[in-house]
Amino acid sequence: MNTPDLAAWWMPFTANRQFKAQPRLLAEARGMFYRSADDREILDGTAGLWCVNAGHGREEIADAVSHQIRTMDFAPAFQMGHPIGFDFASRLAEIAPAGLDRIFFTGSGSESVDTALKIALAYQRAIGQGTRTRFIGRERGYHGVGFGGISVGGILNNRRVFTSLPGTDHLRHTHDLARNAFSRDLPEYGAELADDLERLVQLHGAETIAAVIVEPVAGSTGVLLPPKGYLERLREIATRHGILLIFDEVITGFGRLGTPFAADYFGVTPDLITTAKGITNGTLPMGAVFASRAVHDGIVKGPENLIELFHGYTYSGHPVACAAGLATLDIYAREGLLTRGAALSGTWADILHGLRDAPHVIDVRTIGLVGGIELASREGAPGARAYDVFTDCFREGLLIRVTGDIIALSPPLIVEEDHMARIAETIRAALERAG
């Protein structure tokens, strides 16, 4: 395949000049593998970008999308509707955590986060709590790239260049290498960090706080796991002070932890859940906010001729994306993919924790079918070692993801033990070559 002209595409979250000097181009995908533009097989260790949960090239999704485009390519969702959108919302409500069965469609995870924040504001105002306009996020959290998401997010490079919304504050992150290194599943120490929310209530006043948003498992910042009891404690504090709890499940939703949602895994029910990625198996851009009945019904009231929530997107509930989503849910149900990770998580943990003695490794952490491998940084060059491992692995036929000096792994949920072993073997060899 000829290399395309690389000049015009200004690529997202990419060192553009570095990439275009030595491009890594993917041309095809099937099952657990990509094929590069130079005709090499690349094992997908990241489910694309945490999204291709059912593996690549699923014919059922392609057929459903093709049929829907021929039937009706687009329909407006403002004061109009279409059957497939209602069908998809109903199917999502069936697998949602108990009570979170009111679905607002978006086009991405970033849109889902901004939507959830606006829903939180609208709800507080609707119940007579209009002074609650503040949001609480968490350090090292990632909630997309909208202004709402970067404001509640806690990754510095997402916040430094752009102006954040006023009235946000942040809990401390839960990453504690000194006490919790090499955790399998939930770390033992750190539940008390949830008390930061109580501290911020005392600082700002509960009457000013609309919602707190966290990732149950922080993914993009390097797989940070919640300590035992942390999310339960956060839920209790939020409830006691009338603060909505939002789980950002753009990564953890749709089977990543071996349950349909992380809320199911932890047994903690938030008021709102943001989703995207796995909702269509990554085939078409789409997201959704799952809202509790209490939140939905608190807003959807008053005169029937008035719009209750002044919010939405041109592509909310896009019929072709709904078709992709319905086909994806069919695959998840037929192949048991929303719970398959539970049976594989022990093997996955054993294989990845086998890397604890590899060069430069200072931590391995696993939960469900997620893994994080933290490396010691080179002096004066943070992130350089992990980037070298990333490019080395790609040359050797493995796609991994790195953030700083952390390797993040999240294979498609169709992964088998031999794939897991190959992932670990390739990473170990790359670490042995890394300076």
- Residues 200 and 290 placed together within one structural domain of the fold: yes
Q: Which of 277, 304, 335 is the last residue of a domain?
A: 335
Q: Tell me whether residue 248 is in a domain.
A: yes
> For residue 405, what is the enclosing H or E element?
none
Per-residue pLDDT, 116: 98
Judge whether residue 1 has pLDDT over 70.
no
Q: Tell me whether residue 5 is in a domain.
A: no
* pLDDT tens digits for range 30-83: 999 999 999 999 999 999 999 999 999 999 999 999 999 999 999 999 999 999
- Residues 310 and 344 placed together within one structural domain of the fold: no
Residues of the chain with pLDDT > 90, as a percent, come to: 95
Averaged pLDDT for residues 378-395: 96
Collapsing DSSP to helix, strand or coil, 255 comes out as: coil
Whole-model pTM over 0.95:
yes
Q: Tell me whether residue 4 is in a domain.
A: no
Q: Tell me whether residue 9 is in a domain.
A: no
DSSP 63-119: HHHHHHHHH-S----SS---HHHHHHHHHHHHHSSTT--EEEEESSHHHHHHHHHHH
The C-alpha angle with vertex 167 and arms to 162 and 172, in degrees rounded to 5, equals 85
- Residues 243 and 281 placed together within one structural domain of the fold: yes
- Residues 101 and 145 placed together within one structural domain of the fold: yes
- Residues 286 and 165 placed together within one structural domain of the fold: yes
Q: Tell me whether residue 131 is in a domain.
A: yes
Q: What is the dihedral of CA 324, 274, 423, 23, to 10 degrees?
A: 70
Give the residue numbers spanning the domain of 252. 62-335
CATH number at residue 233: 3.40.640.10
Averaged pLDDT for residues 408-427: 98
* pLDDT tens digits for range 332-348: 999 999 999 999 999 99
Averaged pLDDT for residues 307-313: 96
- Residues 245 and 324 placed together within one structural domain of the fold: yes
Burial classification of residue 115, based on how many CB atoms lie within 10 Å of its CB (0-12 exposed, 13-18 middle, 19 or more buried): buried
- Residues 231 and 320 placed together within one structural domain of the fold: yes
Judge whether residue 27 has pLDDT over 70.
yes
- Residues 219 and 72 placed together within one structural domain of the fold: yes
Please list, in sequence order, all residues whose beta carbon lies within 8 angstroms of the beta carbon of residue 313, skipping any fewer than 6 positions away.
Answer: 106, 107, 111
Q: Tell me whether residue 3 is in a domain.
A: no
Per-residue pLDDT, 159: 76
Collapsing DSSP to helix, strand or coil, 321 comes out as: helix
- Residues 39 and 75 placed together within one structural domain of the fold: no
Q: Tell me whether residue 302 is in a domain.
A: yes
**242 vs 83, 132, 194, 300, 431, CA distance in Å?**
36, 10, 16, 19, 48
Per-residue pLDDT, 165: 85
Please list, in sequence order, all residues whose beta carbon lies within 8 angstroms of the beta carbon of residue 151, skipping any fewer than 6 positions away.
Answer: 135, 137, 159, 164, 165, 168
Per-residue pLDDT, 318: 98
CB 288 within 8 A of CB 317: no
Q: Tell me whether residue 2 is in a domain.
A: no
CATH number at residue 52: 3.90.1150.10
- Residues 85 and 36 placed together within one structural domain of the fold: no
- Residues 427 and 341 placed together within one structural domain of the fold: yes
The count of structural domains within the chain is: 2
Per-residue pLDDT, 393: 98
- Residues 157 and 261 placed together within one structural domain of the fold: yes
Q: Which of 335, 370, 405 is the last residue of a domain?
A: 335
Judge whether residue 103 has pLDDT over 90.
yes
> Over the chain, what is the mean pLDDT?
97
Per-residue pLDDT, 3: 78
Q: Where are the beta strands (DSSP E) in 1-45?
A: 26-30, 33-36, 41-44
Q: Which of 274, 308, 335 is the last residue of a domain?
A: 335
